[in-house]
Each structure stands twice: as C-alpha cells, then as structure tokens.
C-alpha cells in the first residue's frame, strides 16, 4: 500500500544522516522541510521532499503513473515522528491519589515508601488483580498515550515483587506487544523494591537465582532495570543483578540518582547500560562518567514536576556535549501521566532545553534509549512510518509553547491511520 501525504506545512525531524543519537550542539539542529510531501510504502517511509520538486521526484521514485492507494491532505499542518517514551510503568492496578494528598500535606516520597506505601502499595493491588484486569487497565493508558502522539513505549515490570507476580506483569506486557501497532519493549524490574516478607539479601538472591532465569527462559524481557538508590538497592547489589541479567542477554536501563547521588550512574555505565534514568540528584562528576559511553542519560521531568523536586541537570549535560533523552515515567506513584507533549514543555520550561532540543530528546534520543533508533524516532527513508499530523501551527516552537493545547489531528502507526 502506498500513501501520499501532501501539503505538509513543515516536515520535522528529517534525518538524512542516519544518526542513532544526537549529542551536545547537534540536539539544537532540528531539520525541517517546509511545504513538503512524504510517501509511505506499507509500514515504512519511502521518501519525502518539497512540493516544488514533486514532479521531478515522482519520476525518480517510479510514481509517474500517479498511483497512490491513499492520499492525505495535511492541510498545512506539521508532520512529526511519533514521540518515543523510553521509561514507563503503565501495567498497574488502580491508582494512588491518597499518597498524592499525603504529599500535599508534606510527606516525602521516601517517607511514604518507608511507611509501606509507594511501590509496595501498588504491589499489593497488583497481586489481587487478574492478568485480564491488568491488561484492560494498561490498554486504556496506552490508548490515551497514542492519542497524544506516542508511538514507541518501554514498559517495566516491578510491581510484582515475587516471581509469580513479576511474570504476570511481563506476560501482560507481552500481550500488549502483540496486540498494538505501537512498538513496545519490555524491561524486567524485579529489583524495584524489596518484596513483602523478604529480607534485603534474600530478595536480591531471589531476583538473581529465580526471577531472572525464569524471565530469561520465557524470553519475557528485552532489558533489565534496578532501582539503584538510597533506601532501595546499593550499587553492589545492582552490579550483581545486572551481571545475572547479562547472562540472559538483558541490557541494563536503570533507575539512578533520583533520591541521592548514590552510584547508580557509575554502575550503569560500567555495565554498558543503554540508559540511566531519573538523575534528579546527579552530581556534576557523573557528566565525566557518561562522556564517551554509549549510555543515554534520560530525564523524567514529569516526575520532578509531580513530586515537586529538583529537575535532572539536562541543560548542563547538553552543554557538556552529552545527548539527553526524556521520558514520561508514567506510573501510579510519581507520575500518573504519559503525556509526552507536556514532558517536552517541561523540558523547555524547567530544564531550559530549547524546543528543538526537547523535541529531539523525545524522539530520536528517546528511541535510542530503548534501542530502537535504527527504525524509529525521525523522518528517514526506510524507518517505520510512525508519525502524526498537527493542526496548522505557526512554528515547531509552538508545540511546547502551547503546553496544554491538543495539536494532533491525525496519527499514523506502521503506515496506517489510527483513528484518534
């Protein structure tokens, strides 16, 4: 099937260089083609150009016969690659607005966790929910994320905290992978908190000796995560868990330096993590740890906003020449939102990223942070055709500026329109 999209006011994130990630100054160069067209063949982008050279392109691309199965008038709107969200926890049961109120009354995230709230609260609820119920709830969340333009999502386990419930979560993620046009990758996060009834060391042993081999045997996880932070898992425990995961081909994407500068970035980079995420308490010294590595620092500005805590030093990292990705962290405790447009706005407003930098942090660099940037995250010939068309807007900067206005008119996933 061949689809022609024409009258595109601005085709954004055009990528003719095949870069897998953008770093430092590169992040501010967002390539746009004005007054453009794009052709999609089946699931993939086949070509693009400006309306002025359409007739020449038609000849070159063998489309002189003019045969198009679908013609889409973008009516002057912008076309952007779908948002990529490389850090979420969207498989969970119920909600935790009680803790939201506790926080307003002055309790900290760590205090709530210590009282048996937080992650353990969600683990209790998940234990009593059926696989079907979890699937239905998570699908509702994904559909909302799709309507807001997200086309690739990483989903973590980590509310099971015993072997059976961790497997239950991962099977739900697998079913979502198989049933959605959105690209989903899964991450095993057994070490999110110590499960009820276990000592710290028994739980770490359980993760290493039982959970990882079972997850590995069933092929349920692409990546492995550990909440390496003060009060959760130490860098030494993290290293042991990551080594066990590596034996099953699970590359790390870890929670690091959220609550304290706790060694998470160092252990992540040492274990070739694809990403280190959160970083709200990251020390400047870690910029040097990250330099020259393949690890993508990933900021979660929605979490800082919702928890009213410091933001990751993303501006500093970009100024130091690093790449940065952003993600929603959608979860019931610290960020009950998967709105990547709002994340992009927060990255601009609170972390001082330029709109171009924030958009690339949420597209190509976000795709990189989930191992998908060869196929997703920009407008490039051969990439999967996951994109959206906006209403006519004055500029790309308008996207984060209009921070609560819905701008998406049409959404295409794997080359097919998905009705929003």
Among 329, 339, 356, 357, binds ligand NIG (CB under 6 A): 329
Q: How far is the CB of 329 from Fe ion (least distance, A)?
A: 5
Residues 39 and 1: their CA atoms lie apart, in Å, by: 10
Stretch near Fe ion under the rule CB under 5 A, chosen from 5-13, 245-253, 321-329, 351-359? 321-329
Among 3, 122, 234, 360, binds ligand NIG (CB under 6 A): 122
Nearer of residues 332 and 355 to ligand NIG, judged by Cβ: 332
User: From the CB of 89, what's the least distance to ligand NIG, in Å?
Assistant: 6
Query: In this structure, are strands 78-81 and 408-413 parallel, antiparallel, or unpaired?
Result: unpaired
Residue nearest to ligand NIG (CB): 333
CA terminus-to-terminus distance, the chain: 21
- Distance between CA 241 and CA 207 in Å, rounded? 7
Would you put residue 407 in left (φ > 0), alpha (ψ -120 to 50) or beta?
alpha
Q: Does 85 bind Fe ion (CB under 5 A)?
A: no
Q: Does 141 bind ligand NIG (CB under 6 A)?
A: no
CA distance 269 to 286: 10
Stretch that binds ligand NIG, among 70-78, 309-317, 325-333, 338-346 (CB under 6 A): 325-333
273 vs 296: CA distance, rounded Å: 8
Q: Is residue 196 helix, strand or coil? A: coil
Give the residue with the Cβ less far from ligand NIG, 286 or 303: 303
How many residues touch Fe ion under the rule CB under 5 A: the total is: 1
Identified binder of ligand NIG from the candidate list 3, 295, 303, 390, rule CB under 6 A: 303
Listed in sequence order, the residues at least 6 apart from 163 whose beta carbon sits closer than 8 Å to its beta carbon are 206, 210, 211, 214
Task: Classify 259 as helix, strand or coil.
Answer: coil
Q: Which stretch binds Fe ion (CB under 5 A): 5-13, 198-206, 325-333, 397-405?
A: 325-333
Q: Assess 281 for contact with ligand NIG (CB under 6 A).
A: no
Q: Bridge partners of 326?
A: 299
Judged by beta carbon, residue 117 or residue 415, the one nearer ligand NIG is 117
Site track 332-371 with ligand NIG (rule: CB under 6 A), x = hit: xxx-------------------------------------
Let me know if 170 is exposed, middle or buried by CB neighbors in 10 A (0-12, 13-18, 19+): buried
Cα–Cα distances in angstroms (integers) from residue 416 to residues 43, 229, 375, 387, 390, in the given order:
7, 42, 16, 10, 16
Please, where are the H alpha helices in 76-227? 97-104, 109-114, 119-128, 131-147, 163-179, 200-206, 212-218
Does position 255 interact with ligand NIG (CB under 6 A)? The reply is: yes
Footprint (CB under 6 A) of ligand NIG, residues 200-239: 227
φ, ψ for residue 191, nearest 5 deg: -90, 60
Return the one option of Fe ion, ligand NIG, none that residue 334 interacts with (CB less than 5 to 8 A, by type): ligand NIG
Q: Interface with Fe ion includes 329 (CB under 5 A)?
A: yes
Q: Which stretch binds ligand NIG (CB under 6 A): 22-30, 118-126, 383-391, 408-416?
A: 118-126
Residue with Cβ nearer Fe ion (3 or 157): 157
Residues that bind Fe ion (CB under 5 A): 329
Residues that bind ligand NIG (CB under 6 A): 89, 118-119, 122, 227, 255, 258, 303, 329, 331-334
């Amino acid at each position: 099937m061949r689809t022609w999209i024409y009258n595109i006011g601005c085709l954004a994130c055009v990528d003719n260089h095949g870069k897998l990630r953008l770093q430092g100054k590169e992040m501010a160069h967002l390539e746009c083609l004005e007054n453009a067209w794009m052709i999609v063949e089946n699931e993939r982008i086949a070509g693009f150009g400006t309306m002025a050279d359409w007739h020449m392109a038609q000849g070159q691309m063998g489309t002189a016969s003019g045969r198009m199965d679908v013609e889409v008038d973008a009516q002057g709107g912008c076309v952007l690659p779908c948002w990529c969200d490389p850090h979420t926890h969207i498989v969970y049961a119920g909600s935790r607005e009680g803790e939201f109120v506790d926080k307003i009354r002055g309790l900290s995230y760590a205090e709530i966790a210590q009282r048996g709230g937080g992650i353990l609260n969600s683990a209790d609820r998940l234990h009593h929910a059926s696989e079907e119920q979890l699937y239905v709830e998570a699908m509702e969340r994904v559909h909302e994320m799709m309507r807001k333009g997200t086309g690739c999502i990483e989903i973590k386990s980590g509310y099971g905290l015993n072997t059976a419930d961790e497997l239950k979560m991962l099977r739900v993620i697998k079913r979502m992978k198989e049933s959605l046009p959105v690209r989903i990758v899964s991450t095993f996060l057994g070490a999110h908190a110590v499960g009820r009834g276990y000592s710290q060391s028994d739980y770490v042993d359980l993760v290493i000796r039982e959970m990882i081999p079972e997850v590995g045997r069933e092929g349920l996880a692409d990546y492995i995560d550990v909440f390496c932070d003060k009060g959760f898992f130490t860098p030494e425990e993290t290293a042991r868990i990551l080594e066990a995961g590596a034996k099953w081909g699970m590359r790390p994407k870890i929670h690091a330096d959220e609550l304290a500068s706790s060694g998470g970035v160092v252990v992540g980079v040492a274990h070739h993590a694809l990403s280190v995420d959160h970083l709200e308490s990251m020390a400047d010294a870690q910029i040097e740890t990250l330099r020259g590595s393949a690890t993508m620092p990933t900021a979660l500005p929605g979490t800082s906003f919702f928890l009213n805590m410091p933001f990751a030093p993303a501006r500093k990292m970009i100024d130091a020449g690093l790449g940065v990705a952003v993600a929603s962290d959608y979860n019931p405790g610290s960020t009950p939102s998967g709105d990547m447009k709002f994340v992009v706005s927060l990255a601009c407003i609170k972390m001082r990223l330029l709109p171009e930098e924030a958009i690339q942090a949420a597209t190509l660099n976000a795709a990189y942070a989930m191992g998908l940037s060869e196929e997703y995250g920009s407008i490039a010939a051969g990439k999967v055709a996951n994109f959206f068309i906006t209403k006519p807007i004055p500029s790309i900067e308008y996207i984060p500026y209009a921070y609560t206005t819905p701008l998406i008119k049409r959404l295409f996933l794997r080359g097919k329109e998905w009705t929003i």
